[in-house]
Structure 1
Amino acid sequence: MTATVVQPPTVPAPVSAPATGLRSRADTGRLKVTLPRVVGAEWFKFASLRSSWITIAVALAVIIGFGALAAAVAAGDIEPARGGGPGEGALGLDPTSLSLAGAGLAQIILGILGVLAISGEYSSGMIRATLAAVPRRVPVLTAKAIVIAVVAIVVAVPGTYAAFFVGQAIFGDGANASLSDAGVGQAVLGTGVYLAAIAVLGLALGALLRHAAGAIGALFTLLLLAPNLLPLLLPDSWAEALVPYLPSNAGAAFTSVAPADGLLSAGAGMAVLAGWIVVLLATAAVLLRRRDA
């Protein structure tokens, strides 16, 4: 009887680690999560959505188109000024505010753009992958705010200047305004900055509420409902103390050629609007770290 000898299986030799740690450190450096890389990733996500570009195009069309429409409708009501300054309409509307009439609707459009920049990820579940890639979480919100702010500035500021020049061309010489007139340059630039700020405000609300409908409703309330309802619901002394500090009224302080009575100064209005954004973003950052995705 012949005995069969079973050979033990061949075990591959272990792969030795690199003799030096330089390569592993280089790989770690390439994979390190940094704010510029997170910003780049957020920009890629934003730019890859067709809805982002459609919303931007609509906002730009509203800023310029509505301003031109308002100027064309009111052109016959604005009489040329005799003192060399801009004319004024029968309703007391100056040509600058008429040419920037589209900003009232554009603020909602850009605010919704900011809301959807983060609430869309919660609704689709993509936020889990995002936060898994960036475990510290706060850089995600910071990067989104940077992307939305830059995009909104690039769209809104040129848009408001274009709306102004188109509107003044419609009014014609004598009835139009110039950027060198008192308060006009501040109003045109301030309107563009205000629209960008509202986009970031929408992002903060979206991060806080994590639901598109709720955040858009809160945006409508802050910008449109509260300034009109609070004076009717609150005592006059309370309304006079609170209403100027609402985001839209704070913005009106530096987006108007001649701000209405009861509004803050231009500098104070900018500070209050910035305060709204900082507080809401800071609160959203704290909740983002504490809540589950």
Structure 2
Amino acid sequence: MTVTTQVLRSEWTKIKSVRSTVWTMILALVVTLALSMLLSALSKNDYADMSRQDKIEFDPTLISFAGIGLGQLALIVFGVLVVSNEYSTGMIRTSLAAVPQRLTFLFSKVAVATAVALAVGVVISFASFYAGQAMLGEHKAALGDPGVLRAVLGSALYMALITMFAMGVTVMLRSPMLSLGILMPFFFLISSILGNVPATEKVGRYLPDQAGSRIMQVVRTDDDAPYGPWGGLAIMALWVLAALIGGAVSLKKRDA
């Protein structure tokens, strides 16, 4: 058994043995599914009162993912906890003593956590889509419609990337409170403000969540975004890469 395989197994054991990380992923599923169903039902009730333009831009697939905006909170917490638990308990010193190859250690931790987030993301995406479409009734979309399967699978990729971004930031900061204190306002306040204020909306559309969420959109709207679904996901991936590189440099240079 290679060193990398052993480290991967060790990281999987850490994740499944920490009760808070397991409950965090369950919370992500419950919150996202419940909110998606609620907003889909409300959209169905409001459809008759929509303007002609709103009906043209009505995107039943995107509506079924409305809960992901809040559900990503749990995924951010998951990414932070996977990294910060070892720093807060002092176990990071033991882990790095056992795995002196720090980049191997970081790669294994990110790989296992991302695989878990992706698996949970696939479940959340398909569950949210089917539950949301059931609420939309006659306004629903089908999985075989153009762009729908891409949006469903893209939603899972989005959630995995959010988790990776949170992990990279936490490796740099090492503190769970500081990491959450930066990530939460960034995604739930700063990003929304920059994306909705006319003076800054052109900047806001390049933030990771706003660019990445484009992958969940099927119906194109007249918002002048210079990129499409995959282009938006690529922008988000660059943010994630930058966070992970920053985390790797920090882990290599600083003491545990």
TM-score by length of 1: 0.78
Contact 1:205 1:218 in 2 (8 A): no
Aligned-pair identity (%) = 36
Cα distance change on mapping 1:115 and 1:65 into 2, 3 Å = same
AA partner of residue 256 (structure 1): Q
Q: Deviations over 1:231-276 (max 9, x none)?
A: 688x94x652x32221011112212123551432222212111111
Superposition CA RMSD, Å: 2.4
Distance in structure 2 (CA, Å) of the matches to 1:125 and 1:197:
27
- Larger relative helix fraction: 2
- Name the structure 2 match of 1:129: 94
**Larger Rg belongs to:** 1
Distance in structure 2 (CA, Å) of the matches to 1:210 and 1:125:
11
Distance in structure 2 (CA, Å) of the matches to 1:212 and 1:285:
17
AA partner of residue 97 (structure 2): A
Q: Deviations over 1:40-75 (max 9, x none)?
A: 101101110111211111111122121112222333
Unaligned runs of 5+ in 1: 1-29, 80-86
Distance in structure 2 (CA, Å) of the matches to 1:89 and 1:160:
24
Contact 1:67 1:167 in 2 (8 A): yes
Distance in structure 1 (CA, Å) of the matches to 2:181 and 2:219:
30
Q: Deviations over 1:129-182 (max 9, x none)?
A: 00110112111111111111100111011211111111212222x321112223
Say which of 52, 62, 70 aligns to 2:31: 62
Contact 2:87 2:174 in 1 (8 A): yes
TM-score by length of 2: 0.89
Cα distance change on mapping 1:231 and 1:178 into 2, 3 Å = closer
For the residue of structure 2 that corresponds to 1:257, the secondary structure is coil
Say which of 264, 267, 271 aligns to 2:234: 271
Say which of 33, 39, 42 aligns to 1:73: 42
Distance in structure 2 (CA, Å) of the matches to 1:138 and 1:283:
12
Unaligned runs of 5+ in 2: none
Distance in structure 2 (CA, Å) of the matches to 1:231 and 1:110:
22
Q: Does 1:140 align with 2:101?
A: no
Cα distance change on mapping 1:259 and 1:216 into 2, 3 Å = farther
- Name the structure 1 match of 2:175: 211
